[in-house]
A = this chain, B = another copy of it.
Amino acid sequence: VERVVAAALSLLDEGGPQALSVRAVAGHLGVRPNTIYTYVPDRAALERAVVERILALADAQVLESRTGPWSRRVADYAARLRDVLLDHPGAATLFMTAPMDGRNALALGERLLGLLVDAGLPPEDASRAAYLLMVHVLGSVALEVAETDGTRPLPPEALRVAARYAALSHVPAGEYPLSAGTAQVAAAWVSREQFEWGLGVLLDGLAARVRPA
């Protein structure tokens, strides 16, 4: 089972999202296509397993710094998650598609919840906030990756932003004055800076919901 998931992930890393297929995994293992069904019930399960595998990587990498203000700790957590996902761009789409219901997803969620409860959020709000943060991380990564071919490694951020800027220069300023006037910023929508700006807005909003200690 492990080798099957590993093969699937390396196919995604090298060839992007389309590179994953049951037959390709079989080929990669030197085996006939139907052999895969000995290990995995169907393709959807294989995708869920890949998601779980990547979450395991994330779990290892997310060392919870117990120092600093809670907003900093949450921001670090989110940034690490993003880094891990961007390191496997071919698999990023799967996170929007395959339900994150495995053990590793639970473990990650529990940790994030802990961080937010420690911050002083009521448990109900902590739960909502955890999901809000995941939507931000997963959504940002998915949209960022969607503009690439999904192979690893991603082109450097500066290049991707520059390409967007070139494309945005064709926006007619007469018809769309605001969009044209902020093309520089819109080009950088797929950047770490945008991600963290958004995260900052989000954390400010959460701060207002922290109950006085």
- The total of chain A residues at the interface (CB under 8 A) is 54
**A193 to B, closest residue via Cβ:** B128
User: In the complex, which of the residues B131, B175, B182 contacts A186, with contact meaning CB atoms closer than 8 Å?
Assistant: B131
In angstroms, Cα B131 to Cα A167, docked, is: 17
A26 near B: Cβ within 8 Å?
Answer: no
The answer to whether residues A209 and B205 also contact, given A113-B179, A179-B106 and a CB cut-off of 8 A, is no
In angstroms, Cα B194 to Cα A80, docked, is: 25
Task: Find out whether the CB atom of B128 lies under 8 angstroms from the CB atom of A198.
Answer: yes
Q: Which chain B residues lie closer than 8 Å to A132 at the CB level? A: 194, 197-198, 201
Q: Separation in Å of the A144 CB from the closest CB of chain B?
A: 10
Q: Which chain B residues lie closer than 8 Å to A189 at the CB level? A: 127-128, 131
User: In the complex, which of the residues B128, B135, B182, B200 contacts A127, with contact meaning CB atoms closer than 8 Å?
Assistant: B182
In angstroms, Cα B131 to Cα A189, docked, is: 7
Chain A interface mostly: helix
A2 near B: Cβ within 8 Å?
Answer: no
In angstroms, Cα B146 to Cα A119, docked, is: 30
In angstroms, Cα B137 to Cα A194, docked, is: 16
A50 near B: Cβ within 8 Å?
Answer: no
Q: Residues 120-140 of chain A: 1 if any B CB is under 8 Å from the residue's CB, otherwise 0?
A: 000110111101100110111
Instruction: List 26 contacting pairs A-B, 8 Å CB cutoff, sorted by A.
Output: A96-B139, A96-B146, A109-B176, A110-B177, A113-B179, A114-B178, A117-B178, A123-B178, A123-B182, A123-B185, A124-B185, A132-B194, A132-B197, A132-B198, A135-B135, A135-B136, A135-B139, A135-B140, A135-B198, A139-B142, A142-B142, A200-B205, A201-B206, A202-B202, A202-B205, A203-B205
